[in-house]
Amino acid sequence: MTSIFHDEKRLIRARVSLAQQIDRGSVVLSSQLAEAFLNVPRHPFVPVFYRREGERFVPWRSTDDAEAWLDAVYADDSLITEVDGVHAEQAGPGGVAGVPTSSSTAPSLMADMLDALDVNEGDEVFEAGAGSGYNAAMLCHLAGDAHVTTVDRSGALTTLARERLDAVGFGPLVIRGDGARDLPSDAMYDRIIATASVRRIPPLWLERCRVGGILVVPIKGTLAGGMIARLTKRPDGTAAGRVLHTPAAFMPLKTGTESEERVPEIPDGSCDAAELSGRVLDDWTFSFFAQLHMPHGLVRAYGRSDIGLHVTTLYDPADGSAARIEDLPEGPPLVTSIGPRDLWRPIEEAHRLWRRLNRPRREWFGIEATPTEQTVTYTAPDGEVHRWTM
């Protein structure tokens, strides 16, 4: 341990700085949340995290440069803690290549979700996605650790989270399991929060939330910029609420049943001019709306052509339909399609509707979940109601 961890004034300044950074952004901290960020340290939960260096993720430890490391920990940034199942603490000095699989969420996004969750002392809270344990520590501070349960599929993550929560004085129930299914038998909750994304709200979460309870859940399909839904459980067993203003690209909640669909190569052939470039799906203000018009299992891949121009490929494994949208040096993009359905036309139609509705913000959309169906709705100023099934 370096001496920086024994400098209590320095650590307090770091937490104050973080609270100020959050407050300067789009989140206005309540006195309750501000107290939590000032009292719950972040550094014990991320003693090692990854920095991206080119194509690799290299572990950064406090022993590398304690002052710079502490500044990074208490910056309002997400910190990658695991890549392809390799925790930063197990990585060699040369780092690893792969895809991030766990991270410590940016504190301002944590604050936004915790504010929406409205946790009070004594609330029974369930968290899907223990991760580093930092968010669970905040829940413990707000509700009391005897009232918090957190679940993660990774044995390494749950072991570390349990140890670190204990080290800062919290003892919630930490479970290794599937966050969508492995809830303690017969337990009921006043608050349910997920720190990993799902395509649809798991039915068991809806079932185990008490009437009047609140669920805060990141929902994301194949596109970036997913939504965070805040719903209240109703007496009839359904839940309804709104979408938060903050876009969020949380890593998906792992269940162990995932299979990665490979996007096929689309052979050159008959093609048509497109109204839009595939780059439109990189616009988070539109991608949220576009996702509502996509089939459940649709997959997107994107990259560069041989001449360095943008190419997007859409693929639906349900029926084998696929489309390639390729930018050209001059003129409109080209669409090449295979399979029984045109996958790009619905996106262009969605974009026209989005423009006609004057690019509605995500927080203007409502969401409803029943045991059998989940829908998103938007009511236009003229009273017209638009509805999409998730």
Q: What are the catalytic residues?
A: 103
Residue whose pair of structure tokens reads 């696929």 in the numeric block: 322
Of 132, 159, 173, nearest to 41 (Cα)?
Answer: 132
Q: Any idea which residue has 């599937």 for tokens?
A: 178
Cβ(196)–Cβ(153) below 8 Å:
no
DSSP 341: S
Tell me the two tokens of residue 98.
């792969």
DSSP lists the bridge partners of residue 300 as 314
Name which of 53, 56, 48, 59 is nearest 97 in CA terms. Answer: 56
Check if the beta carbon of residue 165 is closer than 8 Å to that of residue 140: yes
Rounded to the nearest angstrom, the gap between the alpha carbon of residue 251 and the centroid of all alpha carbons in its chain is: 5
User: Do the beta carbons of residue 354 and residue 327 sit within 8 Å?
Assistant: no
Backbone φ and ψ for 104, nearest 5 degrees, come out as -95, 115
Residues in contact with 43: Cβ distance below 8 Å, sequence separation at least 6, in sequence order: 5, 11, 14, 62, 70, 73, 74
Nearest CA among 218, 212, 214 for reference residue 243: 218
